[in-house]
Amino acid sequence: MSGIRTRFAPSPTGFLHIGGLRTALFSWLFARNRGGEFVLRIEDTDRSRLVEGALDDIIESLRWVKIDWDEGPDIGGVHEPYLQSERKSIYREHADNLLQSGHAYRCFCTPERLRSLREKNKGQGYDRHCRTLSAEEIRRHEENGDPCVVRLKIPLSGETAFIDEIRGEISTKNELIDDFVLLKSDGFPTYHLANVIDDHLMRISHVIRGDEWISSTPKHVLLYSAFGWEPPVFAHVPVILREGGGKLSKRHGATMVREFRERGYLPDALVNFMALLGWSLDDRTEFFSTEELIRSFDLKRVNRSSCVFSYEKLDWFNGVYIREKTPEELYELLLPYLAAQGFVPPEEPDRYRDYILEIIPLIQERLKHLGEIRNQIFYFFDDLYEVPKMELLVPKKLVSSDAARILEETISAVRTIERFEDSEIEQALRLLVETLQYKTGQVFMTIRIAVTGITVSPGLFETMRVLGKERVLGRLKNSLDRLKSPDTGKSR
């Protein structure tokens, strides 16, 4: 087989999972690194489990992270169709070929018999009851219209081995492998049959998938052998676990790509993070552009052991990527979230553009993902700012009269500032600290809480400058009123 061709073959039984994204990413990176081709194929033969909108989600999620494909259901290609549900006749033809060559047989066992067999044998495999049916028995079943499946004849002895590109040789005794179903009674293929036929006909050279498929690979190798085909190279990448061990699930955070997109993770950051789940270039390099990942990726550097998905590490990665954006770039990325959260009118989204561009440099360092923008900027907007409660306005080791004195003197100091710039504001407030003879932290925290309503915010001087002199004075006065009349203080 010449030419590198990989594929990603998800099932639209749900939205694209983060584990599926990692599989697609590794397959895509390998193909692009070797100058090969990447195919998107949709395995939709399990009709009972299809989820509406899942196919669109898979395509949109891959496009969002800039994974492209050379052939697929949306763009076609020389091996179309790329929806398995449209390839039923191909699978039927190949199943018939296996029946004629004696590598497969029809099984007429009823669901009731199979269920009873599982219960009796405590979950052990099929007993091959129909493997030795006579031609007369098969004809009688067919004349009765009895439904049947097609099963592969597994060798009754020996072993089946294959070389995994990541894990080396893996061997399984044939006696441990069932005569598994190839074609179901409704005419649809099982995953095993469709997967092998499509990979062969689409000339896939390397099958890169999660290690949960290792146990199925001997079945696929035997199926390739039954057809007389050369199998592709197999590479099973390590499973992704949650922190503390165990399967990654929604109980621990987002698991679907669309959730990360909705929460405001940047696609480049997510791709960089996902590439390092099971692969590394060396012991020190963490940040890669997509082009650098393509140049560096090699299956030989994929780990065998499972890897851990850390939401905290992803937040850190995303924060780094956010800080690399210019204020203008970040504004465009934030705009949908600002509109959705009511900060900008959808019909006039750029009304507050200049004002928000002043805010962005102050909060950019603190932003972990775009969706949390509300908590970072709400106090810059008068309709969301609230005058803090009295107990919050009084610093530790001080009493309300001390806080009131600080605010009174701050109001006087702010009034004297002619150029309301960072340096002028800092000079005035540091002089105020010397005059009041309180600790710097006590004075600045009282002012910060009065001006923003919260204890943690960007630099105090920069925040005051963006708010402007009149708004700062208004907030200081309202906070002072709250201290003097805690039950009647203004709300904003």
Q: 69: which strand partners?
A: none
What are the start-end ranges of the E strands in 186-319? Answer: 206-210, 233-237, 240-242, 307-309
First to last CA, the chain: 72
Q: Which residues contact 35 (CB under 8 A, 6 or more apart)?
A: 4
Per DSSP, helices labelled H in 109-263 are 111-120, 135-143, 191-201, 217-227, 257-263
Helix (H) or strand (E) holding 170: strand 168-173
Task: Write the CA distances from 276 to 195, 272, 280, 382, integer angstroms.
Answer: 28, 7, 6, 43
- Count of CB atoms within 10 A of residue 269's CB? 22
Annotated active-site residue in 250, 300, 396, 397: 250
User: What's the token pair of residue 176?
Assistant: 């441990």
Residue 325 annotated as catalytic: no
User: 189 pairs with which residues across the strands?
Assistant: 183
d(CA 25, CA 106): 39
Taking the C-alpha atoms of residue 277 and residue 302, their distance in angstroms, rounded to an integer, is 9
Most distant CA atoms of the chain, gap in Å: 108
What angle, rounded to 10 degrees, do the helices at 440-452 and 400-415 form? 80
Q: Which residues contact 220 (CB under 8 A, 6 or more apart)?
A: 192, 195, 196, 231
Give the three-class secondary structure for 279: strand
326 with 65: CB under 8 angstroms?
no
Distance from CA of residue 406 to its chain's centroid?
49
Under a CB-based contact definition with an 8 Å cutoff, are residues 242 and 309 in contact?
yes
Which residues are known to be catalytic? 250
